[in-house]
Amino acid sequence: MAFVNVINCCLDSITEISEELKDAVVYVDSGCTESFKFLGAFPVLLEMGALAVCSLESMSTLDSAIGWNQKSDVQTKVVFFTCRLLTDSHRYILRRLSTHKRVFQCTIYTSISEVGQSAYPDSPLGPDAYHEYQSLLVQDYEELMKKKDSNSTTIHTHKKGNLIPEDEEGWLQLAPRAEDDTPKSPSFSIGHAGQKLIAYVHHFPLILCPFSPKFFVLPSEGSISEAYLSADQENAISSGLPPLSTGTFHDGEDVPPGVALTAQFLYHLTTKMELKLEIFSLGDLSRTIGKLITDMSSLYDVGRRKRSAGLLLIDRTVDLLTPCCHGDSLVDRIFSSVPRRTRTVAKGSQTQPNLQRAPLDVQIPLADVLREVPPKTNAQLFEAFLQGWNSYDSATQINTLVSLGDDFSESELLSGSLVSTESFNGTPYLESTLDRRTKDGTILIKKLLQEALRKEKISMNPKTDLQLMVRALAKTQSCFMRNKGIIQLAAATSYAMSEKYRAKWDSFVSAEKILNISAGDTSQDLSRQMCDIINKSCFGESESSSQGLFSVEDAMLLTVTGYILAGENFPTSGSAGPFSWQEEHFLKEAIVDAILENPKLAKYKFLHGLSHDLEANLKKKKDGEVTEEPSKALESDDDQWGNWGEEEEDADKDTSNVYSDMQLKLELRDRVDNLFKFLHKLTNLKGNKGIREMASSLENSIGDDDPYSRKGLLYKLLTRILNKYDVPGLEYHSSTVGRLFKSGFGRFGLGQAKPSLSDQNVLLVFVVGGMNGIEVLEVQEALSESGRADIEVILGGTTFLTPTDMLDLLLGDSSYI
């Protein structure tokens, strides 16, 4: 039986275009950089004959070294990889083309299909989007080259600046040409010293971030993951999450851009994998995506020889609790603690707003872990680079490059990343970590480190700390490069399991268990625990975070978690919340006090515009300038008669201050009331009858009564499916042939039976909105417990979610609060 391997599919797609990559300068945008890092694709690109691989958005002074080994009369071939819309990448593509003296061929590979490019709202490209863009690109390139020729002095003056004419916001104006002027051939004349530029645009759908051969998410800085999944409407809670399920779905005409792009991505991904899909969905938005994918299918697709597979689409909003909680997953700990790459300073769509997803590219602080490594690492790396360099004018260029090396800090050079293809005896490190809980994963990494040390003939005590093992294995550069995969993963684990982050995570786990147990008792117990956490967080700000005390942001996350738990255990109808008026009043007052003590909470959307007032109020309080409350003023009323008429100006000033303080508190209470109206939405996540029935049946079948071993929705859902039980609310999307049988041949008794997910040997489960590491682990546990060794489960999601990401989606700028 042939196994489906997402990593191999992606790498095979790269090798298929080896002819285009040979002797080419390759540019990749930030989303593709994330994808290729997980894939370990950069060595593959060089093996295919690429001259260099550079960033598309961020131009480096080192990029000027690309042509040092080339003769002046050699023409350049350039290849671009982008997971953004062509209109969004246009100015960067032009800028990179302008840095080369002679470009004869430009090939662009984009993960957005031609239909997606043209159908995107307000797109200037028509149905023949790729061919139209080829024409527009060459037209703009021609104009740019003419401008360079006619004004070479000006260009030389701004040699290190922006050569591309832009509008006020930094965008190159891209407008479609008239149909008469559109050339019919992909080869266009530049009119610059007899050069001819040949421009091609191809679809390259397999740009994704695989954590393992069976689990992937989309790049964080790609047009698909950044596009809105829901519009601001009554049932929507965030532009980055599906709306709450109510039993309705879009008709396909007016869907958010992220929905259409996700459907096209999944269709082309499964087509590339040669899978024939039986589509099922759970949730309103997933239902819409399933319908779009079904409509894309044709009789030709159905008739081809493909492997049958089941596609299960799930709305993230069906289960918001799991990604908000801190599960027993080492990978979740790593992504929640290790620093991430800062987002590329680049605009999204010119016409549509976009989400700001957290980058998936972790920056493992190897410099911190390898502190005992000699400080000359910086110079050694550049020296090794220069020794392998051979240029026609080496003296000046080498001196220039060495001086450039001083501009990079050691921490910037020594930052690792997670690579899914790094393995030990064929077992990928990252995949092995995903399939284990925190303790087991840490033990496994330690065993792999010991094995690597044994191979390098380095003797160490088996009880040695992880960090010391990493340092021993990285003593020499050659040893470091041979074992870079396990070194980077071990360094990330050591960082995530340090006292500072381990104590905070364990405190979250304990608090969530307490909230879960309280939710099983009464609403009073749950609200009391939530108030206690909020009140204690105000004091925890000044304490050391290593003690595991919560910040106010942590308390807000636990408040969201508590409300979701309350919605599950104390169901309510209408707009009323799960708590009594008195219980909710205490919660509101606790949050108001916490905000007054911590003005940094103004970063959340429901407090926008109050940052300055909150900071000024806290400063007055710290300086002892906050006036007394009106009640206290009345108590000392008798003492004030003696000052009657003596200090009128000071009295007026005090009155205005009291009014200002009271106004701020009243405004805060209004904002907090809006917050709680939003939290009431989260308590009604299972408002749809089908979703309620599904949740109830899953709880009954799993019997998850132990609050200490709570399982997520995916575990319960897969367990029921693999045991061949029906799942209420799960909708099947009939294929083209299936609909034909149902409507036509069905009247003659030739109807087609509804397929079951459990009958498929391959299951592709995609969570619209994202998923986390503990869900991957629990799905593997469900598969193992079912004993169904004949089934392959492939998991995917819009992005990789941490609890902090969920809080940002629910209360941050993308929230519909």
In this structure, of 92-96, 425-429, 775-779, the range with the lowest mean pLDDT score is: 425-429
Report the pLDDT value the prediction gives residue 64, as an integer from 0 to 100.
Answer: 60
H-helix or E-strand spanning residue 82: strand 76-82
What's the Cα-to-Cα distance from 650 to each of 30, 629, 642, 654, 658, rounded to whole Å? Answer: 59, 16, 15, 6, 12
Contacts with 482 (C-beta within 8 Å, 6 or more apart), sequence order: 456
Question: Does position 736 have pLDDT exceeding 70, yes or no?
Answer: no
Q: Binning pLDDT at 50, 70 and 90, where does residue 541 land?
A: low
Burial of 757: CB neighbours in 10 Å, binned 0-12, 13-18, 19+: buried
Report the pLDDT value the prediction gives residue 152, as an integer from 0 to 100.
Answer: 60
Report the pLDDT value the prediction gives residue 555, as an integer from 0 to 100.
Answer: 93
Cα–Cα distance for residue pair 753/758, rounded to 1 Å: 14
pLDDT > 70 fraction of the chain, expressed in percent and rounded: 72
Q: Binning pLDDT at 50, 70 and 90, where does residue 590 land?
A: very high
CA dihedral 547, 549, 551, 556 (to 10 degrees): 150
Burial of 657: CB neighbours in 10 Å, binned 0-12, 13-18, 19+: middle
Residue 626 CB neighbours (<10 A)? 15
Question: Does position 651 have pLDDT exceeding 50, yes or no?
Answer: no
- Segment 278-306 shows an average pLDDT of 81
Question: Does position 641 have pLDDT exceeding 90, yes or no?
Answer: no
- Segment 76-96 shows an average pLDDT of 92
Cα–Cα distance for residue pair 567/579, rounded to 1 Å: 9
pTM of the model: 0.85
CA 277 to chain centre: 26
> Among residues 411, 376, 560, 573, which one has the least CA distance to residue 495?
411
Q: Residue 544 carries which side chain, given as an amino acid letter?
A: S
Question: Does position 469 have pLDDT exceeding 60, yes or no?
Answer: yes
Report the pLDDT value the prediction gives residue 156, as an integer from 0 to 100.
Answer: 47
Report the pLDDT value the prediction gives residue 502, as an integer from 0 to 100.
Answer: 93
247: left (phi over 0), alpha (psi -120 to 50) or beta: left
In this structure, of 268-282, 344-358, 633-647, the range with the lowest mean pLDDT score is: 633-647
Question: Backbone phi, then psi, for 633, in 5-degree steps?
Answer: -65, -35
Report the pLDDT value the prediction gives residue 759, as an integer from 0 to 100.
Answer: 85
Cα–Cα distance for residue pair 195/104, rounded to 1 Å: 7
CA 573 to chain centre: 34
Cα–Cα distance for residue pair 606/477, rounded to 1 Å: 51
Q: Binning pLDDT at 50, 70 and 90, where does residue 753 land?
A: low
What's the Cα-to-Cα distance from 505 to each of 127, 362, 538, rounded to whole Å? Answer: 50, 18, 19
List the Cα angle 462/464/469 in 5-degree steps: 100
Report the pLDDT value the prediction gives residue 659, as an integer from 0 to 100.
Answer: 44
Report the pLDDT value the prediction gives residue 192, as an integer from 0 to 100.
Answer: 44
Report the pLDDT value the prediction gives residue 176, as an integer from 0 to 100.
Answer: 46
Question: Backbone phi, then psi, for 425, in 5-degree steps?
Answer: 55, 40
Are 355 and 240 a contacting pair, CB within 8 Å?
A: yes
Q: Binning pLDDT at 50, 70 and 90, where does residue 698 land?
A: low
Report the pLDDT value the prediction gives residue 317, as an integer from 0 to 100.
Answer: 93
Query: Tens digits of per-residue pLDDT, 247-269?
Result: 776 655 678 999 999 999 999 99
Question: Does position 384 have pLDDT exceeding 80, yes or no?
Answer: no
In this structure, of 505-514, 688-697, 775-784, the range with the lowest mean pLDDT score is: 688-697
Cα–Cα distance for residue pair 243/317, rounded to 1 Å: 7
According to DSSP, residue 757 is labeled: G
DSSP strand E in 222-372: where?
Answer: 275-282, 307-315, 364-365
Q: Binning pLDDT at 50, 70 and 90, where does residue 575 land?
A: low
Question: Does position 772 have pLDDT exceeding 90, yes or no?
Answer: yes
Report the pLDDT value the prediction gives residue 167, as an integer from 0 to 100.
Answer: 43
Query: Tens digits of per-residue pLDDT, 387-422?
Result: 444 434 444 444 444 444 444 444 445 677 888 888
Query: Tens digits of per-residue pLDDT, 40-54?
Result: 899 999 999 998 899
**Mean predicted lDDT score pLDDT of the chain:** 79
In this structure, of 39-53, 85-99, 153-167, 188-202, the range with the lowest mean pLDDT score is: 153-167
H-helix or E-strand spanning residue 106: strand 103-110
Tokens at residue 484, please? 């870079």
Q: Binning pLDDT at 50, 70 and 90, where does residue 327 land?
A: very high
- Segment 190-209 shows an average pLDDT of 77
Q: Residue 287 carries which side chain, given as an amino acid letter?
A: R
Query: Tens digits of per-residue pLDDT, 208-241?
Result: 999 999 999 999 999 999 999 998 888 899 999 9
724: left (phi over 0), alpha (psi -120 to 50) or beta: left
Report the pLDDT value the prediction gives residue 629, as an integer from 0 to 100.
Answer: 47
In this structure, of 129-143, 349-363, 480-494, the range with the lowest mean pLDDT score is: 349-363
- Segment 571-593 shows an average pLDDT of 82
Question: Does position 704 have pLDDT exceeding 60, yes or no?
Answer: no
Q: Binning pLDDT at 50, 70 and 90, where does residue 631 land?
A: very low
Tokens at residue 551, please? 């910040």
For the chain, give percent helix, strand, coil, nearest 5: 55, 10, 35
Report the pLDDT value the prediction gives residue 59, as an integer from 0 to 100.
Answer: 72
> Among residues 2, 1, 4, 244, which one has the least CA distance to residue 795?
4
Query: Tens digits of per-residue pLDDT, 449-458?
Result: 999 999 999 8
Contacts with 308 (C-beta within 8 Å, 6 or more apart), sequence order: 275, 276, 278, 760, 761, 762
Burial of 784: CB neighbours in 10 Å, binned 0-12, 13-18, 19+: exposed
